Structure 1
Amino acid sequence: MLIVFSGLPGSGKTTIARALASHLRATYLRIDTIEQALRNGGLVEVGKAGYEVANALARSNLALGNRVVADCVNPVAESRQAWQSIAEAEQSPLLNIEVVCTDIAEHRRRVENREADVPGLRPPSWQSVLDHDYQAWSSERLKLDSSLLSPAEAVRIILEHLETL
């Protein structure tokens, strides 16, 4: 099973993804962590390299029969299709989850008060979140509003949805 969390920075996806991965004892892949490790290793511009590393790790873990939770902005059709292709290649179910925060004031507060939890990673500014290229979804996904749900409630909804797959 491949579960891919998508959404803008500060939407709440990492909090929910971590809780779900812990509950499922799944392999947890966070793009922020991978990209910062690439920078720490001397790569100046990570581009899509972080996604390529995460895709390869997801595929190898799915091949082992592990559940995989991917935590990423996943902003464009190309990155979303890559996850789909991995799931298909490994004959694994795929659950796309988009996390949004419809309370703009709360979303901004989260972004502006965020403390870096990945050493060396600079948290985004509110302006960079507003300017982020985030394409509208055209495929099916489970959409969760973190301004209306606690992380525990979101995990419960996801677990209920997984039962239907």
Structure 2
Amino acid sequence: MQRPALIVFGGLPGTGKTTVARQLSIRLDAVYLRVDAIEQALRAAGADVGALGYVIANALAAENLRLGRTVVADCVNPVLASRLGWRRTASQSSARMVEIELVCSDRAVHRRRAERRSPDIEGLRQPSWDEIVTRHYEPWDREHLVLDTATNSLEALVDGAEACVRGHA
């Protein structure tokens, strides 16, 4: 049996992470963890979120990885500290780590997507375009798969992610 994988999506809001991550989760029959859902539940409960959403998501990922389940984590993953947390979770769970960043190279397409989308989590406030483009987002520190949602179909994006997970990319 192949070791389970921790597949972590990252990228700015509006690049298509949730759409691709959900489809990959279905295709792989993997556990799907969305940090937005965790953080919104914390906000609704009156908690000060901070890094807590990522801490909880990592704990849930670790539990599922120990059960031998592949996990897809859907998050902005904007800083090295969050990426190191995911890597530590994979290592401590003896799981393979797959890092995937989604970008939208066409600024007009990205803006249109960001401004037209509606929240699919009750109470979640979507960031404005200005908040997206001014958000602190650190460059990645190591090799990872980068998928451009401006130039590829959903099927091609999921195919590329699956190929990477299966070690064929």
TM over 0.5: yes
Offset of residue 140 of structure 1: 1.5
Amino acid at match of 1:78: A
Identity of aligned residues (%): 49
| Partner residue in 2 for 1:144 | 147
| 2:8 pairs with 1:9 | no
- Residue number in structure 1 paired with 2:28: 24
SS in 1 for 2:100: strand
Which whole-Å CA distance do the structure 1 matches of 2:8 and 2:38 have between them?
A: 15
Q: What SS is found at the alignment partner of 1:96?
A: strand
> Partner of 1:81: helix, strand, or coil?
helix
Q: CA deviation at 1:138?
A: 1.2
Unpaired runs of at least 5, structure 2: none
Could you list the per-position Cα deviations for residues 54-90 of structure 1 after superposition, in whole angstroms to 9, with x for gaps in the alignment?
A: 0000000000101100000000000000000111111
Name the structure 1 match of 2:54: 51
1:64 corresponds, among 54, 63, 67, to 67
SS in 1 for 2:98: strand
2:134 — aligned with what? 131
Instruction: Give the CA deviation at 1:163.
Output: 2.5
Deviations 1:82-136 (A, max 9, x none): 0001111111101000000010000000111110000100111000001110000
Between Structure 1 and Structure 2, how many residues are aligned? 164
Q: Deviations over 1:132-165 (max 9, x none)?
A: 1000011121000000111111111112222227
Alpha-carbon distance in 2 for matches of 1:163, 1:18: 17
Q: Runs of at least 4 residues of structure 1 off by over 4 A?
A: none
1:114 matched to 2:114: no
Distance in 2 separating the partners of 1:35 and 1:73 = 12
* TM-score with structure 1 setting the length: 0.97
SS in 2 for 1:79: helix
Report whether the alignment pairs 1:99 with 2:102.
yes
Structure 1 unaligned runs (5+)?
none
SS in 1 for 2:84: helix
Question: Residue in 2 aligned with 1:78?
Answer: 81
Match of 2:165 in 1: 162
